[in-house]
Chain A
């Protein structure tokens, strides 16, 4: 599943006196299985770009083509289905459902796909084991460390077997060891499951691990290089 971005622009408060050009005329192509870091200072438009690619936000102009299909043409129901089946999200603050255990959090997104309970349980257990949380899978998020919660979030993002994962500053709240462990896990899953990973970050530890680094500044793509 390839992503082709053509002249993508997102402007907030377009009708006001001070419009905010979060993303401006970006052309980009990301191929299946890539491990991409989008870096740049705060407010450079990284998160907006990820939101546009993930179908959370809609572009002001330009297009995001997934396998040749413009996601702007999808209605809200189709868009939610697209996100559910093809996109995994990892958020900076983990954003797990606090009343569900690690296992249930991972199962939840698969249940949205209509998978059977047994299949959800099998896949969730498998993923949590892969991210090293076999012993913690029945704990609620509050009983887990930040690093462990982010690993649950990774498992949750990968549970519905998405074609690509959007990770918005996934290591921002983690210490060095947790960051290293998380990156190991994500790299492993990237190669094992063939899932495309796209990070927004300004964490050098993440950038060093990325196979491709895209530099963003003032909403514009300034640099795109493979490492």
Chain B
């Protein structure tokens, strides 16, 4: 308590220096936290958007499906099978799908396409696919028709009401062939999907590929992206002993994961650069606080203060500056991040148009995460500890006689 009182009052001997140092820490913390919250918010938004239009955040697949992509490697589509997943918390969507390939032909045109068999009434609240229909209407759960991407329709030169032949290989080597009227044309946000996607009700797809009640994947979506890893582990445990592979979006969309990792690395580099600059300021302050008081420290040691207590005093003073900076930084960051969390930054111009074309809301959402704040506080604490090393070493090796003479300034 005595050292704490002494340390606190010592801070205000050089009021301006203390405040400038604390404010530098606060500014670095604020900028880093704001930047990281914006980055994480954008990543989560992108992952969520992409997942909803493609793979989902998690999938249950047959162990061989990821390599083979074959209709032979399928899972039961029964309620009994998926009951284990349904019993877990934090899963907001569970969608059965058949994902395979076929040759699509109309008139004298043909093209290899991706075929997705899904339950439209379950998919609509998940991906909002019905909102992307540009001609016709969303399929019913039991429907004879198909929906195709606008890009594919253009390639095949087909329109609403035209018929499309799907021809491929079904389950156990059976021939998959069918003739389907085009009930809807959809503008998928991702061009690679738009040019090659044929979408039909799950029951039709099961009939086409002769899979019976089976599916190639169960698509799952967690309440929050941060829960993916934990839910994945729970799923692995729940399906242990069964021929089930649990894959997350990182495995299913490795390019996006890499892109995010690189972008994140850039952000983290900037953050450390910022903290590095602030660190020099903090180091200079702590070092000055130590060097300019060599005589005072020597007097304290002469009058009976143990060296370890002297080091404690320096740590307390530095910690108080860092704490002051952290509190100021959080006081700046929290309200602003909170504001932008509820009122996301709206993009304008070309960037907004690109996002709108993708079917995404043109906003930069903020991520509100305790972990982000804790990470920043840990970085500041670590920075302070690094800055303390040399001043502590100097204080520990202070020669009392030289200190009393004022000889130890260098």
Residues of A participating in the B interface, judged by any CB pair closer than 8 Å: 51, 54, 56-57, 76-77, 80-81, 83-85, 89, 91, 95, 97-100, 108-109, 111-113, 156, 160
Interface of B (DSSP majority class): helix
Asked whether any CB of chain A lies closer than 8 Å to the CB of B251, the reply is: no
Contacts of B9 in A (CB 8 A): 99-100
Contacts of B160 in A (CB 8 A): none
Q: 5 shortest A-B CB distances, which residue pairs?
A: A84-B304, A99-B9, A95-B299, A112-B304, A57-B401
Out of B295, B296, B302, B401, name the residue touching A89 (CB < 8 Å): B302
Pairs across A and B, CB under 8 Å, 20 listed: A51-B404, A56-B302, A56-B401, A57-B400, A80-B301, A80-B306, A83-B303, A83-B304, A84-B303, A84-B305, A85-B304, A97-B296, A98-B13, A99-B9, A99-B10, A99-B13, A108-B2, A112-B305, A112-B306, A112-B309
Residues of B participating in the A interface, judged by any CB pair closer than 8 Å: 2, 6, 9-10, 12-13, 295-296, 299-307, 309, 400-401, 404
Judge whether B6 and A91 touch: CB under 8 Å.
Answer: no
Out of B6, B400, B401, name the residue touching A97 (CB < 8 Å): B6
Judge whether B307 and A113 touch: CB under 8 Å.
Answer: no
CB proximity of B101 to chain A, nearest CB, Å: 78
Q: How far is the CA of A84 from the CA of B296 in the complex (A)?
A: 16
Contacts of A84 in B (CB 8 A): 303-305
Judge whether B299 and A91 touch: CB under 8 Å.
Answer: yes
Judge whether B401 and A80 touch: CB under 8 Å.
Answer: no
Contacts of B10 in A (CB 8 A): 99
CB proximity of B306 to chain A, nearest CB, Å: 6
Judge whether A95 and B401 touch: CB under 8 Å.
Answer: no
Q: Known contacts A95-B299, A108-B2; is A80 also within 8 Å of B304 by CB?
A: yes
Contacts of A160 in B (CB 8 A): 304
Q: How far is the CA of A111 from the CA of B3 in the complex (A)?
A: 10
Contacts of A83 in B (CB 8 A): 302-304
Judge whether A109 and B303 touch: CB under 8 Å.
Answer: yes
Residue of B nearest to A160 (CB): B304
Q: How far is the CA of A76 from the CA of B308 in the complex (A)?
A: 12
CB proximity of B317 to chain A, nearest CB, Å: 11
